[in-house]
Amino acid sequence: MSQRLHLVFGGELIDPQGTQFRDTKAIHMVGIFPNYETAFAAWKAEAQRTVDSAHTRYFIAHLHRLRDEEREVSPTEELGA
């Protein structure tokens, strides 16, 4: 069975209705988690910690969806090998 990694990150957005960060150098990387449940717990803790900041948002990125080991690699990926 493949590992399903999740990245939790967040920071201040330009517009609270959007997803563009005000300063990408200030993005808070909470961590990479081995499953959705632990990622969700970390996301929830950060979201609750920053609840008073309307422009601050945290996200969960499904890292396991970025690369499918069964799929043929692209020419760009082959260059790195």
For residue 34, count other CB atoms closer than 10 A to its CB: 11
For the chain, domain boundaries: 6-80
Residue 78 has pLDDT above 50, yes or no: no
47: amino acid identity, one letter = A
What is the reported pTM?
Answer: 0.78
With a CB cutoff of 8 Å and minimum separation 6, the contacts of 26 are 11, 12
| Architecture of the domain whose range is 6-80 | 2-Layer Sandwich (3.30)
Q: What is the pLDDT of residues 8-67, one digit of tens each?
A: 999 999 999 999 999 999 999 999 999 999 999 999 999 999 999 999 999 999 987 876
